[in-house]
Amino acid sequence: MDEKLLFVCMGNICRSPAAEGIMVYLLEKAGLGGQVVCDSAGTIAYHVGEPPDRRMRAAATRRGIALRGTARKFSPADFDHFDRILVMDRANYEDILDLDPSGRRRPKVKLVCEYCRVYPDREVPDPYYGGDAGFEHVLDLLLDACSGLLDAIRSGHVDRNR
């Protein structure tokens, strides 16, 4: 299986650590813990070294999902280290592609919602300035997307031009 996944949002304190935690949770439930590498990063360095947002941690904990790690900024070296780079919204997508002027790595970069099976959303909204309902919605979306991603990985689906 040996897949390496990187989840990316803006600050790496809400959405991307939640996606990482959810994916680890789903992999462990499927008996695949340790077979897929999961990490997360942000497109900005504002929160580097900080843990995931306490509100997101609390919402995830209520669902039995642990969020770990500290925020870091995406590095161009991540293109070579990861097989799939899964971004939360169109702005994150453009920010990451700007770091690949040749366009060679573009096929690795996907909107995580491309893997949703239930929700029609195409982007994961940033819950940072909202209330509890926003964090819950983000977790619902990411559970859907990560479940679809896990199915794609298990079925051996590899994106063309990867």
Taken in order of first residue, the domains within the chain and their CATH numbers are: 3-155 (3.40.50.2300)
Torsions phi, psi for 59 (to 5 deg): -65, -40
Write down the catalytic residue from 15, 57, 72, 84.
Answer: 15
For a pLDDT cut of 90, what percent of the chain falls above it?
Answer: 93
* Cα 149 to the center of its chain, rounded Å: 10
Mean pLDDT of the residues in the chain = 95
Query: In this predicted structure, what is the pLDDT of residue 162?
Result: 36
Q: Is the pLDDT of residue 161 over 50?
A: no
The residue annotated as part of the active site, out of 39, 53, 78, 126, is: 126
* Least confident range of 8-12, 62-66, 90-94, 152-156: 152-156
Active site residue 144: no
pTM of the predicted model as reported, rounded to 2 decimal places: 0.95
- Mind giving me the DSSP string for the chain? --EEEEEEESSSSSHHHHHHHHHHHHHHHTT-TTSEEEEEEESSSTTTTPPSPHHHHHHHHHTT----S---B--TTHHHH-SEEEESSHHHHHHHHTT-TT-TTGGGEEEGGGG-SS---SS----TTS-HHHHHHHHHHHHHHHHHHHHHHHTT---TT-
Mean pLDDT across 131-153: 97
Better-predicted residue by pLDDT, 78 or 156? 78
Rg from Cα positions in the chain: 14
Q: How confident is the model at residue 159 (pLDDT cuts 50, 70, 90)?
A: low
Catalytic site includes residue 9:
yes
**The pLDDT of residue 1:** 61
Respond yes or no: is residue 126 known to be catalytic. Answer: yes
